[in-house]
Amino acid sequence: MDAQGALNSLLGRLTAVLVNEAQLLGGVRGDVEFIKDEMESMNGLLLHLSEAQHRDHQVQAWMKQVVSLTRDCGGNVELYVHYGGGSRPAGGQGLLGYLLRIPRLVRTLPVRRRIATRIRELKTRAREVGERRLRYGATVPDAQLDHYGPTCVDDRPTPQPRSPDEEEDLRKRELLESLPETVEEGAKQVLEWLLEDAERWPRAMAIEGPGRRVEPTAIARMVYEHSSLVNLFDVRAWVDFGGLNKSFDEVCSEILAQLVPTLAEPPEVSLSEIWDKLSLFDKVTALLTGKRFIIVLGNALSSGVVQTMIDGFCWQCDCNAGSALIATRNDDEHYPGLSGISKILDVSALYLECLDRRAFDVACYYGRHIVPKILKKCGYLDALAPHMFLRHLYASTNCSETQMLCRDLDNHISGGIQIMLRFCFKDLPAHYKSCLVYLSIFPEDQIIGRTCLLRRWVAEGLINERNTHRFKGNGRHGMTTLDDEAELIFDSLIIRGFLYPEETSAAGKIKTFTVPDFVHKFIVGDFSFSDTCLPPDLAYRLSINSTIELHEASCNNDRPFGGILTLLESITGSFQWQLLKVLDLQGCKGLKKKHMKNICKILLLLKFLSLRGTDVVELPKQIEKLQRLETLDIRQTMVQKLPTTFFMLQMLRHLLAGHKEPSDHNLQVHLPRGIQRMKKLQVLSCVEVSNNDDYLHDLGHLLQLRKLGVILQDEKGLSLLFQQIEKLHSCLRSLSIRINQPRVINTPDAQAASALVTPPRLLQSLKISGITNGLPLWIADLDQLQEITLSNTHLGEDATCILGNLRILRCLKLLQESYAECNLNFQAEEFQSLRSLVVVNSGITRISFNTGAAPNLKMVYWSSTATGVLSGVENLPKLNKLELNGATAT
């Protein structure tokens, strides 16, 4: 964490403690107030220092001391409050609450005395750190010498627009919120080549270049499916390499499989015995004789196979003039040494051209010659740099700064990427910067989970009430939740190009991401003040600035996860472990009971604990000691039963359980009584609930629940479950219901569930598995529903009418045995907002789209064990991704 972020986090915590836990501080209150005042002064100085690009060694050393001091101050104050009973809200307020806390206060008196002594020592350290800068002559550099260092800005999600014309500002925002239409422009160029050269001999074309923003194969797909080519070519064939190596015969075999159903057998090969003796290549060329064809080799990385295809089909095949073979590759390389290529479309160059045109639309304040010049310089630095710069344009209208940037890029070719990053980094609000710099603890190129990161941000204190206030007006609230603020920050960093999405769900939500290499080097080299002594593969598993050390013997440990296991065994020997807020053990094998007991006994301030994918089989009863725990992830573990003390974790907000495979019935986490006491729960995922009325009634008391995943053994408790969901109508955003033993006959439970007076209208995501009596009728009232997943529901045609009228439904997934009919028909005026359709082993054998149905559908994925037919694709004007496995399009 950078010094600025560390101080902001500490000040937020100290302010909350002084307001909410004043009584528990007792004699150390004065020391805490002094530390807070001293830190406020340091914060002002850091804001000034952060404007400087070049800091001498003494200033940097002082800033690292500030980080260390803030960590120790915050941790010790929280420990003192913890031992004083501040983390146990069940104690009550007033005289009764104090009397109930007396036994605990007496029992913890020795440890509180030790912590109070440390706090007094920290008070002295704070005074010394404040004086040390002057005593050793550490001076503040002139901030005006650097135009791109981080500046002091208001803690706003985005800077205020400066244009007097609101419509113009809105137009610019819309331009910057979307990528240039590179796919459309690329397809237009290739189509022009095909049409203008239609009378020439067979041509070979290549579409290549870095595909991080735009995949060359996507351009080829748009060309391949374009209506203007239907009458231009007699036959078409698409071979998807998927980045894998395929032999020439394998390619010919795939082409042959697509040609045979569309062409009559040539007279020359009418005799089967002659046909059988022909090679695969000869069979294909025989079918193409006298035909004008287009063949696309999608994401073919092997230049050898592409060259063989060019030699065989463009020069040896007796086909009609105007035929074409198009090869694409989605990596960052070009086809080396290919001969016979008539046209090459460089996607990276095309992307920059599109950015140039986009820049003219947003550069009214800069002069038309500056922005394209900067964009070209950015393009030489990194493929993502132009995108980042354009995102910045909306936030700043300072022409002189932009001119200075252009001059500096001319003068500092080797350090240009650093200059560009500073230019774009400086306008981020302070806590946005801290959240970005936090990612420096992750190894380079590591794929990071989005939701996991957001919860870690909150647990580390990077986002707190101090920086979540919003400006009132335009109907917006004055404050947002910490989780909502984390989402806003993440979205902003994605939009500005500091983060790059990797995996995106069918509903369009980012699941995983990476930090681009040049951004990672920037935050590690210039802004990270992490003082960890751990190697990168261990450091990211712990809180920032934990100062926990790994013994030299452990560094040479060859056992898988040996380093982290050795660390866990040393918990009792270091005070720094007690200050830990985050412990991410995802995927670690070899965890024993002793490790788990040490974690629960020592890490009293822990807020985030991930055991996902470990071999833990049970949670110890000492789990109750983690009174500040907010996130517990036990997905893909062998844990099936929670200890009776689990419900003492009254600060818990996220409980994540379950397995990826629904068939793992014997590994489900069973939820016992007492869940109603965990009032702060917001996420309760994939837990099995007994049909007992008392167990189900407990769910209705969790009035902050935003995401609920419930597993029932059968449909007996379905009606009561929906009654509890009705109580949560004002908070629930995501709901998943799975019946392990579905029935195929009607039951009164489903009818009762269909008659809710107050359905959860704020629901955005819904998953239903095993409810076999049709869709609950109240689903028709969910006008905020964006994604629905169905399996083992055996729905009829009437269900598609209900789903088709959902106003903003964007993603529909029909999984195994979800649909009882063989034909799925999308009627006109239905599914007007649908973007993604996923159909997997549903029993459907035909899908058809009528004119006017699903006009915004962009992606269709259909996988089936039986042969299926997809028709009406021509009625989907925005379709850009079609993936069929076991089905064909007509």
pLDDT, tens digit, for every residue of 739-758? 987 665 555 444 554 567 78
Q: Check: CB of residue 184 under 8 Å from CB of residue 222.
A: yes
Q: Provide, rounded to the nearest whole percent, the portion of the chain with pLDDT above 90.
A: 22
pLDDT, residue 558, reads 55
Task: Give the largest CA-CA distance in the chain.
Answer: 102
Number of Cα atoms under 13 Å in the Cβ half of residue 771: 27
Angle at 65 between CA 59 and CA 69, to 5 degrees: 145
Scanning 243-346, the segments in alpha helix (DSSP H) are 248-259, 272-277, 280-288, 303-310
* pLDDT (tens digit per residue) in 440-495: 889 998 999 999 999 999 998 888 776 665 433 333 344 468 888 899 889 888 87
* Average pLDDT, rounded, for the chain: 76
User: Which residues are registered as beta bridge partners of 826?
Assistant: 849
Sorted by where each begins, the domain ranges of the chain are: 3-145, 182-346, 786-890
Structure confidence at residue 271 (pLDDT):
52
Does residue 272 have a pLDDT over 70? no
For residue 612, pLDDT over 90 is answered with yes
Task: Please compute the mean of the pLDDT values over residues 139-161 and round it to a whole number.
Answer: 42
Say if residues 677 and 647 touch (Cβ distance below 8 Å): yes
| Residue 528, pLDDT score | 60
pTM for this predicted structure:
0.71
Task: For residue 270, give the 3-state DSSP assignment.
Answer: coil
Taking 3-state DSSP, the helix, strand and coil percentages for the chain, each rounded to the nearest 5, stand at 45, 15, 40
Give the per-residue pLDDT at 172: 43
**Does residue 611 register a pLDDT over 70?**
yes
Q: How far is CA 770 from the centre of its chain?
A: 29
Confidence of residue 5 (pLDDT cuts 50, 70, 90): low
Which of these ranges, 90-104, 237-251, 619-633, 640-654, has the smallest mean pLDDT? 90-104
Please state the rounded mean pLDDT for residues 498-509: 86
Per-residue model confidence (pLDDT) at position 453? 96
- Indicate the pLDDT class of residue 375, thresholds 50, 70 and 90: low
Q: What was the pLDDT predicted at 885?
A: 82
Is residue 11 scored above 60 in pLDDT?
no
Tokens representing 299 are 């994401």
Q: Which secondary-structure segment (H or E) carries 631? A: strand 631-633
Going by pLDDT thresholds of 50, 70 and 90, the confidence category of residue 861 is very high
Residue that is written with structure tokens 């995927």 in the block: 587
Asked if 858 contacts 835 with a C-beta cutoff of 8 angstroms, the reply is yes
Burial class of residue 215 (count of CB atoms within 10 Å of its CB; 0-12, 13-18, 19+): buried
Strand 846-849 vs strand 836-840: parallel, antiparallel, or unpaired? unpaired
| pLDDT surpasses 60 at 578 | yes
pLDDT the model gives residue 163 = 39
pLDDT at 168: 45
CA 134 to chain centre: 45
Identify the band that residue 215 occupies on the pLDDT scale cut at 50, 70 and 90: confident
- Closest C-alpha among 573, 444, 557, 451 to residue 511: 451
What CATH number was assigned to the domain covering residues 182-346?
Answer: 3.40.50.300
At 692-709, the pLDDT tens digits run 778 888 899 999 999 999
Inform me whether the pLDDT recorded for 387 exceeds 50.
yes
Dihedral-angle region of residue 843 (phi above 0 means left; psi in -120 to 50 means alpha; beta otherwise): left
> What mean pLDDT do residues 504-513 have?
86
Residue linked to tokens 């974790």: 649
Query: Which tokens in the block code for residue 702?
Result: 């969790």
Q: In whole angstroms, give the CA distance from residue 148 to residue 52.
A: 9
Could you tell me how many residues make up the chain?
Answer: 890
The band of 174, judged by pLDDT with boundaries at 50, 70 and 90, is: very low
Q: What is the mean pLDDT of residues 191-218?
A: 76
Report pLDDT for 331.
Answer: 73
Angle between helices 399-411 and 370-381 (to 10 degrees): 40
> For residue range 54-105, what is the model confidence (pLDDT) as tens digits?
455 666 666 667 766 776 777 777 776 776 655 444 445 556 666 666 676 6
Rounded average pLDDT over 655-681: 81
d(Cα 391, Cα 590) in Å, to the nearest integer? 46
Query: Which amino acid, residue 201?
Result: W
pLDDT interval class at 166 (50, 70, 90): very low
The mean pLDDT of 715-735, rounded to a whole number, is 90
Q: Which residue has the tokens 């529901």?
A: 793
- 531-551 average pLDDT score: 68
